[in-house]
Amino acid sequence: MTAKKGYLPLMAAIELSGLYPATITPFDGDLKIDVSALEAHLGATSDADGVRGLVVNGHIGELLALSPEERIEVVSVARGVRRPGQLVMTGIMGHHVDDLVEQGLQAKAAGADGLLVLPPIDVRPYRRLAANPDSVLHFFRSLDERVGLPMVVHQYPGFTGTAYSLEVLARLTELEHVVAIKAASVEVSSYIDLWEALSGKSRILAATDAPGLLGMLLHGSHGALIGIGAIQPSLWAELLRLVREGPLDEARGLFNRSCLPLMDAVFENQIPRGIESEASATKEALVQLGVIPSSRVRPPCVPVTEERKQLIAAALEKSGLTGGETCR
């Protein structure tokens, strides 16, 4: 990995590897944050062996539905339950530089260890800018200089129209505080291109909740930042361990037996068949596992149907997470 100004000391402080589950935000009957349920969920996630940090306020954490004050509250709860040595990363999203910087500074003041920066060009007038380094750097350079927290760049899948080009990503990795790329490439070939081009310059975290995840991990990764990891995080940490240490036959067996059913039922393999919220589906799995009491989501997000609940129940049983079986 090539050196850059401030790079080696920073990476020594925040060397991203292993499993980083993207977590949810539970709501009570009044659609306020259910703090006790949030503590239970984040605590159970952090307690799982192999979890290196908590990622809060991402898409699965319903970032768009939370106020700035609520996002800070979630960061504070995460800091209160994390285990020693674990990181707390928080998502930020916006289309105006000063707004993004303000979000970053608020997260820093709340004690976040780093930022997951969702694409600021994810709005129609800006989407064409995803391939232009200067336009994207306009946002990230300001965060780098004015906030000074480690940043994970969220790379969207190509079909969204907002995926950064490899040239853009290469330029971003030159910034002092960019420490990793969340490679949410649904297609394995796109992930491989990204890995081959940039794994020597930045940490690459596989980030798909779909069958391609295993191929990505087998080709190479520094870890995984996945929403599906919030469901029985020890399962996903064990998958990473088996890919890293072997035997690979056991990794493939675990993936086919326990991971694939969950990806299909909860995330629909990232090819949505309906309009129900992935956050609600993830929450429903956690409800059925006894972690949180409700799968409520805030409008305009759509809660899971009874049919989807049954599919999730069947997937949990097939995966060995319910019904008295084990996941291995």
CA atoms 295, 299, 301, 305: torsion sign: positive
Picking from 285, 280, 274, the residue whose alpha carbon sits closest to that of residue 298 is 280
**C-alpha span between 289 and 24 (Å, rounded):** 14
Domains of the chain: residue spans and CATH? 7-318 (3.20.20.70)
The structure tokens listed for 174 are 């030159």
Q: What is the pTM of this model?
A: 0.94
Pairing assessment for the beta strands 87-92 and 114-117 based on DSSP bridges: parallel
Share of the chain above pLDDT 70, in %: 94
Share of the chain above pLDDT 90, in %: 93
238-255 pLDDT, tens digit per residue, is: 999 999 999 999 999 999
**C-alpha span between 328 and 321 (Å, rounded):** 10
Instruction: State the SS3 of 61-114.
Output: CCHHHCCHHHHHHHHHHHHHHCCCCCEEEEEECCCCHHHHHHHHHHHHHCCCCE
Percentages helix, strand, coil for the chain, rounded to the nearest 5?
Answer: 50, 15, 35
Listed range (20-24, 159-163, 218-222, 254-258) with the worst mean pLDDT? 159-163
Is the confidence at residue 12, as pLDDT, over 70? no
Pairing assessment for the beta strands 223-226 and 203-206 based on DSSP bridges: parallel
pLDDT-based confidence at 13, cuts 50/70/90? low
The structure tokens listed for 234 are 């020890």
84-127 pLDDT, tens digit per residue, is: 999 999 999 999 999 999 999 999 999 999 999 999 999 999 99
Q: Is the peptide bond prior to 299 cis by the omega test (within 30 degrees of 0)?
A: no
Q: Is the peptide bond prior to 247 cis by the omega test (within 30 degrees of 0)?
A: yes
**C-alpha span between 179 and 225 (Å, rounded):** 14
pLDDT-based confidence at 323, cuts 50/70/90? confident
**Contact by Cβ (8 Å): 75, 91:** no
Is the confidence at residue 1, as pLDDT, over 80? no
**C-alpha span between 121 and 161 (Å, rounded):** 10
What's the mean pLDDT in 185-206?
96
**Contact by Cβ (8 Å): 85, 53:** no
**C-alpha span between 301 and 309 (Å, rounded):** 16
Is the confidence at residue 9, as pLDDT, over 90? no
- Whole-Å CA distances, 154 to 6, 93, 182, 252, 256: 22, 10, 5, 27, 27
- Beta bridge partners of residue 33, listed in sequence order: 27
**Mean pLDDT of all residues belonging to the chain:** 94
269-304 pLDDT, tens digit per residue, is: 999 999 999 999 999 999 999 999 999 999 999 999
Pick 320 or 5 by higher pLDDT.
320
Is the confidence at residue 6, as pLDDT, over 70? no
- Beta bridge partners of residue 224, listed in sequence order: 19, 206
Give CA angle at 112 (39, 243), nearest 5°. Answer: 75
